[in-house]
Amino acid sequence: MSRRDRHDQPARQARLRDEFRRELTSTDLVVTDSDTELEPDCLVRLQECLRSDKRNGCATGFLTIYNRADGLLPKMIHARYAYAFAVERAASSFAGCMTCCSGPISIYRLDALDELVLRRFVTQRFLTRPAEPGDDRHLTNLVMAAGLRSRQTSLARAGTEAPETWRRFINQQLRWSRSFYREMYWQLKALEKQSCYLGVITAYETIFPFVIASWILRILYFSDSVSILWRMSAVAVTVLLLRTLVLLLYCRDTRVLYNILYYPVYVVVLLPLKFYALLTVVDSRWVTASRKESLRTRDRFPAHLVFILFWDLVILGGVAYRVYELCF
């Protein structure tokens, strides 16, 4: 952030608060969206979800991808969203502690966004560095830290745009992963006022990448038997197929079969990206490109891509080592 931007920040914050109050004084709810296509009854369903319990502070809907015809990557992301909203977020919503009301479509009680919450949201910092306002996970955590519940309803459906290129997808995931680690502090602050299930999913989401990475390295380099590679691969494939089958039966939509592709992508691309995000968590630049490739990120050295390539070479080397053991 430049010196001029830092000087103008208080004025921008004051402007944001004034516009927020001026435009929303006639209602008790506020809806956020970003490039979203709403189904006809989406807002009604969101309001019903939020008003179903006076303890609910915010809620989000069920997101789909409206540009699925633009390639394999949007199809895969659509299937991933289906699993995330139908299973993962639905479970945490049942406990009232869904950790991220999605930016594309969310609804908040106006009285939950008081002066303190708004000020913390607009002036968000991480290790003394300003963080970009507009982080949906941060606002959700602030509401939960105030003791209110966060919900998700599958009845309120909306479509959002997904990255069509791997460059945009990787940059998007890098920003989201950094946001996850920055938000851990605020998520932990909400633990005492939320269901114990929030502690379970916080621990799971935090250690899961480390468990998977350790499991992969253990099988490839440190196991005594070559056959463990095939047995564990069979277990992983079985779990993958069962999860996809459950999703297919729930959604009754064959397009969710693209969910199968997400898991190898997770191991090859997203897993190392999470570790890179943790190592560079203080970098608060908005790296996600727009539909037109961002000029701000094009000329920067792609260190995260080198990190991903290094991880993939480690996996490839381990597989080659096991195949050599098996053959010779």
pLDDT of residue 295: 40
Q: What was the pLDDT predicted at 287?
A: 61
Q: Is the pLDDT reported for residue 219 higher than 60?
A: yes
Q: How far is CA 228 from CA 210, 218, 223, in A?
A: 20, 10, 7
- Residue 206: the pLDDT is 94
Mean pLDDT across the chain, nearest whole number? 84
Query: What are the φ and ψ backbone dihedral angles of 192, each rounded to 5 degrees?
Result: -70, -20
pLDDT over 80 at 130, yes or no: no
Whether the per-residue pLDDT at 36 is higher than 90: the answer is: no
Q: What is the pLDDT of residue 297?
A: 47
pLDDT recorded at residue 33:
66
Task: Tell me the pLDDT tens digit for each residue of 160-209.
Answer: 999 999 999 999 999 899 989 988 888 998 999 999 999 999 999 999 99
With helix as H, strand as E and coil as C, how does 230-282 read?
HHHHHHHHHHHHHHHHHHHHHHCCHHHHHHHHHHHHHHHHHHHHHHHHHHCCC
Position 252 pLDDT exceeds 60: yes
50-54, 60-64, 134-138: the lowest-pLDDT one: 134-138
Q: Report the pLDDT value the prediction gives residue 209, as an integer from 0 to 100.
A: 95
Number of H helices, E strands in the chain: 14, 7
**Amino acid at residue number 163:** P
Across 15-29, 57-71, 76-90, 260-274, least confident range: 15-29
For 131, list phi and psi in degrees, rounded to 5: -110, 145
Structure confidence by residue, pLDDT tens digits, 268-305: 999 999 999 999 888 776 666 555 554 444 446 689 99
Burial (CB count <10 Å: 0-12, 13-18, 19+), residue 42: buried
Token pair, residue 295, equals 């000029």
